[in-house]
Structure 1
């Protein structure tokens, strides 16, 4: 006769003692069913990943131009700027003339290619690998991202500052006993490293494009599923490519570009110190401003989880090249220039530049902070006095405070800071001002993209919002 079980109820033990196990088995099966994992969700991937019907950036032709000419522009600035002069376009035209006149033969081109140092690719790869290692190994805070189209939320580890601190410590320790050899090598081989960053960016972009077709169905970006290979490669097909819990797009968004930019700035400052015996006040300003910007971005790392780069764009050439190559190689242009052509500023010039930087930062950070607080908790005492529009999509659009002045008032602050970074270079060359000129174009284009996306999402509510907040970026002007 089966013995009564202690975990059963009194009624169930009595039934078992009398040889009737049906009641006990019923409750056992009910409990097992309750504790069983939920059945796998069935997703209609065709409906989840509709074909993209709208092109951006000029469609396939514009995408092809970006893939070809942006890397070429990086290399043009890398090889066309040195101690003899910052004349990338003049040297490019001279090169075209040499080709047209037959002075530059195919053999000469081969020699130029052979002059590239493969060690720079190894150096660049080791730098990226170190960042990946510390990102995975270092502790951090886990934060959930926005809800995806399939109803899920991805978790992200926030530890960019820890990664920067550990990477910096490791680089300093590994360079002990070698003096300034490592930063001076980086400065001397900047063009070689630029080539390495271009190669690595293409490798990652091609790999991401191929992997987006392999294995189980993946959640694609709504803008990167046109079926046109060139366009999808550029804009990015897969929305959130991951290896386990390691999010490739989230990692690439801040760490390689911003940390690499900061380290390149430091190498340029070391070169000026060794060459000049001191660091000029103009170099100090640029170093402080750009380091401030980088540290602020890493400190507020979780804020990028609500940006278009994370929520909307796929991970393709645009983001991979932009963060792995363009940001560190082009954003360090001011410190490169000052390492080759030092500038000493007057006290009045320094005061004007510092005021511009502080004003731009105040607009940029306080506006972003206001929006972030409102999104998290509209009843927070810091934002509950603000007026807003309740949309049919269930979201709220601020119509007062910073966001009542312009629809992208934060872009104004961002651009003012970019001007403050360029002014310390003086006015003997226009090349150091490439950044603030390009950045203005980028911000206007980004604002137009966001406006189009919101117009489709909110419909008439967006028209109402635009009537209340009339200006796009600059209050009273644009």
Structure 2
């Protein structure tokens, strides 16, 4: 359907062509910084810059503290805090912190080399990313799923032949964390699932069997990562790729924070085997799967509307959308649809609710009340609330009156009646 002249017009699907991807803005239009959505640009205060830079030193300290808490203090933050008060943080780090060794550095380099070779030589289709604020559509090679499969075949084959110790990661976690912090380079999300498999092997080597809780935790995280590789082209249009520049957040975060923090549940169960009752495990595993299904269905609804130009049904009814226009810095005007029916009429960020259910369930499966076990869920809550605020601010600038109208139609951000 052709773009409406009213940016807040409610549209219902008719048998018309999909919305045009672009249309030229008039030649006499002038643009200011406020007209172009995207990065905030210059002019920040020194305090805001300092706060923004704080993760550069706080994040590595956090990952090291979690490692020491898990390995030396049985996952108890209270014991770790007491030790820090008595001996000092840097003394504790020097005695128990990750060690940078040649073995750890060699392992990280080998991992990167294998993944680079797989990316270069495995076949894969090229897919377009999200439209940038400057109006560009970038191409990305998509072969992550095949690389994931080949990596695990190599892992299983080399372990079977006795060339690779299947419990290598937890046995050498200290030197690997040291090497990852030192390298600070991006790594695939596959790393944290592989770490969970290695924790299972480690637990089996130590006690002759694997606890059901660790199996279910690994299953949920494997599901999450497989989703990433199966839908790799979809992730190109997410906030991480489209708006978060390739800096500290993505480099250190993906290379070190993801494999050390998102695997805390597997690390804990590998070190301190335990398992809750069968009904308890069944409930939270089912809740985790339900969270994943919700996450996937919510995003599928939005993708379907955009692919069909709104000419589709959601929950058996015609999709209800708001037509919104935005401009890129090259002066071109574009049109997008804001879905306000289905899950998107229930909440403006229902996909985040599914994410939170999955992360909460993963932590709950451990069956422990220790704060370190729940760190992943707490982190995801903070991350997604912050992302929600960032996303809504950017959408307000990008879509203007259309976004205001959408917020009136769908007043709740996460859960109706709560927030």
Q: 1:178-219: CA deviations, max 9, x gaps?
A: 27x623232122122111111111xx4xxxxxxxxxxxxxxx
Higher relative contact order (CA 8 A, sep 6+): 2
Quote the Cα distance in structure 1 between the aligned partners of 2:201 and 2:151.
Answer: 18
Quote the Cα distance in structure 2 between the aligned partners of 1:185 and 1:144.
Answer: 37
Contact 1:140/1:157, CA 8 A, preserved across alignment: yes
Secondary structure of 2:151 counterpart: helix
Which residue of 2 is the match for residue 66 of structure 1? Answer: 55
| 56 and 195 in structure 1: CA distance in 2 versus 1, 3 angstrom threshold | farther
Pick from 385, 410, 415: which aligns with 2:351? 410
Pick from 392, 399, 411: which aligns with 2:325? 392
Contact 2:129/2:140, CA 8 A, preserved across alignment: yes
Contact 2:310/2:319, CA 8 A, preserved across alignment: no
Which residue of 2 is the match for residue 174 of structure 1? Answer: 158
Q: Which stretches of structure 1, 4 residues or longer, exceed 6 Å deviation after superposition?
A: 47-51, 111-114
| 346 and 55 in structure 1: CA distance in 2 versus 1, 3 angstrom threshold | farther
Quote the Cα distance in structure 1 between the aligned partners of 2:269 and 2:88.
Answer: 32
Which residue of 1 is the match for residue 213 of structure 2? Answer: 282
Within a 5 Å distance, the mapping from 1:212-231 to structure 2 comes to: none
Contact 1:142/1:158, CA 8 A, preserved across alignment: yes
Contact 1:76/1:92, CA 8 A, preserved across alignment: no
Contact 1:79/1:88, CA 8 A, preserved across alignment: no
Is 1:195 equivalent to 2:178 in the alignment? yes
Pick from 465, 470, 473: which aligns with 2:406? 465
| 194 and 380 in structure 1: CA distance in 2 versus 1, 3 angstrom threshold | farther
Which residue of 1 is the match for residue 148 of structure 2? Answer: 164
| 50 and 297 in structure 1: CA distance in 2 versus 1, 3 angstrom threshold | closer
Contact 2:299/2:351, CA 8 A, preserved across alignment: yes
Give the superposition deviation at 1:53.
3.5
Give the superposition deviation at 1:426.
1.1
Which residue of 2 is the match for residue 316 of structure 1? Answer: 247
Within a 5 Å distance, the mapping from 1:329-344 to structure 2 comes to: 329-344=260-275
Q: Which runs of 5+ in 2 are unaligned?
A: 1-32, 327-334
Quote the Cα distance in structure 2 between the aligned partners of 1:53 and 1:350.
Answer: 50
Quote the Cα distance in structure 1 between the aligned partners of 2:260 and 2:298.
Answer: 28
Quote the Cα distance in structure 1 between the aligned partners of 2:64 and 2:408.
Answer: 44
Q: 1:366-387: CA deviations, max 9, x gaps?
A: 0011111222222554458110
Within a 5 Å distance, the mapping from 1:436-455 to structure 2 comes to: 436-455=377-396
TM-score by length of structure 2 reads 0.82
Is 1:185 equivalent to 2:168 in the alignment? yes
Within a 5 Å distance, the mapping from 1:71-470 to structure 2 comes to: 71-82=60-71, 85-88=74-77, 90-99=79-88, 109=94, 116-178=100-162, 182-201=165-184, 204=185, 252=186, 256-379=187-310, 381-383=312-314, 385-393=318-326, 394-470=335-411
Contact 1:197/1:324, CA 8 A, preserved across alignment: yes
The two structures, once aligned, show a CA RMSD in angstroms of: 2.9
